[in-house]
Amino acid sequence: MSQIEEIKKNYSFSKFPLYANETPIFRKQPNMLYVPYGKNNDYSDYLSYLYNNSGIHGAIIKGKATYIYGKGFKIKADWNGDKVALEKTLKSINNSQTADELARKKIFERTLYGGCAYLIEWDVFGAIKSVKLQPFNTIRTNVDKSEFYISKEWTREQSTNAKWKRSNGKLPEDTVTLPAFDPLKRQGKQILYLIDDNPASDIYPLPEYNSGATPIETDIECNFFQLNNVKTGFSAGTMVTFFNGTAINDEEQVEIEHAFKSKASGTDNAGEILLNFQNPNTTPPEISPLRSNDLDKQYEQLSKDTINKILYSHRVSNG
pLDDT by residue (tens digit) across 235-269? 556 666 766 655 567 777 777 777 766 766 655 55
pLDDT of 229? 67
Whether residue 232 is predicted with pLDDT greater than 70 in this model: the reply is no
Beta bridge partners of 189: 121
Lowest mean pLDDT across 35-44, 50-59, 154-163, 292-301 = 154-163
Smallest Cα–Cα separation from 111: which of 68, 148, 145, 53? Answer: 68
Whole-model pTM?
0.75
| CA distances for 312 relative to 65, 68, 215, 216, angstroms | 17, 18, 11, 12
pLDDT of residue 237: 60
Q: Could you tell me the pLDDT band of residue 316, with boundaries at 50, 70 and 90?
A: confident
Distance CA 280, CA 256 (A): 20
pLDDT digits (tens, 9 = 90+) for 148-200: 999 998 877 555 455 666 666 678 889 999 999 999 999 999 999 999 988 87
Position 100 pLDDT exceeds 90: yes
- Write out the DSSP string of 158-190: PPTT-SS----SS--TT-EEEEBP-TTS--SEE
Q: Does the pLDDT value for residue 146 go beyond 80?
A: yes
Report whether pLDDT(9) > 90: no
Of 59, 35, 46, 5, nearest to 316 by C-alpha is: 59
Which of helix, strand or coil describes residue 101? helix
- What is the distance between the terminal CA atoms of the chain, rounded to a whole angstrom? 61
Whether 12 shows a pLDDT value over 60: the answer reads no
Higher pLDDT residue, 16 or 59?
A: 59
Strand, helix or coil at 157? coil
Query: What percentage of the chain exceeds 90 in pLDDT?
Result: 41
Name the average pLDDT for the chain.
81
Within a 10 A sphere around the Cβ of 24, how many other Cβ atoms? 19
The pLDDT of residue 66:
95
Handedness of CA 236, 238, 240, 241 (dihedral sign): positive
pLDDT level of residue 303 (50, 70, 90 thresholds):
confident
Residue 313 in 3-state DSSP? Answer: helix
Burial (CB < 10 A; 0-12, 13-18, 19+), residue 162, is middle
Residue 144 predicted with pLDDT over 90: yes
Give the residue with greater pLDDT, 77 vs 254. Answer: 77
Whether the pLDDT of residue 308 is over 80: the answer is yes
Question: Phi and psi at residue 254, in whole multiples of 5°?
Answer: -60, -40
